[in-house]
Structure 1
């Protein structure tokens, strides 16, 4: 028998430790934190399921998401008896059409959702049972606003306790890149720009340092070093490489002066950009995907989209010098503002606002959780 607690069921078939998985887990955790019974169903023993358990979420995993899974899914449905269901991929969106009477909210935040707007006729055919759509940015939401389904851009929420403004900063002006070593992340091209930055740097200021943090994906470590060697960057002097997962990476982001996201594609959900800003560190971004949506004010940083190399380097130099010279109070103010955009309580409040519009009758007009207080 179901208790009086509001229940939300998150169904996510994504098998990777991807940005989509990150978003699903954050949505589930954010609602749990404000009093919902938040149940997570992912692929058994895959990152989504394992991380959900570590976060203390109620978990009901599945071995796979196929039509043969439907009896098991229907059984879970009657055990959980959700008030609202969130689905994060195509397989669970199709299977959820059998849950008549329960509002379904569909997440759209894959790369394709940014580059290929849905055709209204095919959308109505395959998604007619969907009550609402959430996207991680306004950039993606624009592709769905022409549909007859209520669409709301809800930014990824991050645990702000893990990412806060640091009271210490690196002595040298420090530019940091955080992300896997993959061609789409744009490391190779950025090394040349950093070399150009060094050559044009004012003599009265300490020389900048580039920190590159991540794990090899489709680029081996030796190729990263070759990129730097090609433009005469000296490891240990001009740049540092940390090729492993770093615990408490927020300490590094917070001590840096500029966070760079030089990706050449993807970046629909923009977790790393948000993490830098939550630490009070301004960002310098390529502008692909939803990155420019993260620039909530001029103090947040800048995009170099469509700029030629020399002008992009000049803009980076300007941002880095300003950040190097600013006080800790300015950095803390930027972090506080970021918390009003990217924290878990803010995400929960936005999700509850959507549920109040598209949810079951007993949740219509639901009063969202109180506005979070600034740290």
Structure 2
């Protein structure tokens, strides 16, 4: 099977990661894979670094001339690469793909991936397109799959939920790395280290976790520690440190900044926490933590309750609920491997 992944995302967000891991997994399984994306963007750069064939076009532009050029680039890709499957990961330019699929009746099949929280429109036009011009739909959560079944009235065999997968050879528990990182930040073997990994953004729920840690420490959990890894976004590291100071927990917290040894940083954690208040259509961080053998607790947001057990779920933003899960959680381990992800995708067509 030959797959053309359309990953027209300007940055390396969860949607781009999902498409990239699918590309790597399919290629590893022997399914020739190419990537089409926006010029000079991370999905294209990473695909090139992986040795995949790439095509670049301004698929997200509103300029008619650029859209015509993008259509020409897509035509070139189809002619040169001869895909069996075209996978569309974003809504921009999707209408053109459905137009070609319906009117020209090409040999390739069209797949729409829904890897975000925003559901498609459920109007008459959308229902017609999904029934007549889309061959398969892949969703990153079961809730999104149910939306397609209930609102677009698609048959169950046309829609599948695939959560994604990580490179388990890179994200695996490293005891040496664990000890090195814990020593670097002054954590002892007896310390109970909570870890949060993600961009600095209010939607990621840092504040509610900080409040929970503050209260647990005041209630006698004197060995609790906090390890924060992330990059600047809507907030920066200065904002994070100010929040920690306001809670009086800066002395038991390590803020790592951007790291290249992220698997070792995760391995240094005793419990991973995903306190998100929104988003989480794809929970990459949870999969990476689980792959490193770290148990995870998380909020009842997005796909999080689908990839970790109910015993490890807390109410988003509810400090008492977070505290309860930190005190009492299940040491749960599960592997979300990108090869398994790609195998499930391929079997969807067989």
Shorter chain as denominator, the TM-score bin is 0.7 to 0.9
CA deviation map 1:312-341 (0-9, x unaligned): 31321223xx76xxxxxxxxxx55xx22xx
CA deviation map 1:101-123 (0-9, x unaligned): 3210100122212xxx6415232
Alpha-carbon distance in structure 2 between the residues aligned to 1:264 and 1:121: 32
Over 3 Å counting, the alpha-carbon distance change for 1:223 and 1:133 in structure 2 is same
Tell me what 1:368 maps to.
none
Alpha-carbon distance in structure 2 between the residues aligned to 1:308 and 1:25: 34
Tell me what 2:312 maps to.
302
Tell me what 2:94 maps to.
93
CA deviation map 1:18-41 (0-9, x unaligned): 110001111111110000110111
Whether the aligned pair in 2 keeps the contact of 1:30 and 1:347 (CA below 8 Å) is: yes
Whether the aligned pair in 2 keeps the contact of 1:28 and 1:38 (CA below 8 Å) is: yes
Which stretch of structure 1 is more off in the superposition, 66-75 or 183-192? 66-75
Alpha-carbon distance in structure 2 between the residues aligned to 1:307 and 1:261: 11
After superposition, residues 75-86 of structure 1 pair within 5 angstroms as: 75-86=76-87
After superposition, residues 1-375 of structure 1 pair within 5 angstroms as: 6-65=1-60, 67-68=67-68, 69-97=70-98, 98-99=100-101, 100-101=105-106, 102-113=108-119, 118-119=121-122, 121-127=124-130, 128-146=132-150, 147-148=153-154, 150-167=158-175, 168=178, 170=182, 171=189, 172-202=191-221, 207-233=223-249, 235=250, 237-243=251-257, 245-295=258-308, 297=309, 302-305=312-315, 308-319=318-329, 335=333, 338-339=334-335, 342-356=336-350
Structure 1: runs of 5 or more not aligned = 1-5, 324-333, 357-375
Whether the aligned pair in 1 keeps the contact of 2:272 and 2:297 (CA below 8 Å) is: yes
Offset of residue 353 of structure 1: 1.5
Q: TM-score, normalised by structure 2?
A: 0.86
Alpha-carbon distance in structure 2 between the residues aligned to 1:311 and 1:72: 51
Offset of residue 139 of structure 1: 2.3
Alpha-carbon distance in structure 1 between the residues aligned to 2:307 and 2:263: 18
Structure 2: runs of 5 or more not aligned = 62-66, 183-188
RMSD: 2.0
Whether the aligned pair in 1 keeps the contact of 2:25 and 2:342 (CA below 8 Å) is: yes
Alpha-carbon distance in structure 2 between the residues aligned to 1:232 and 1:92: 50
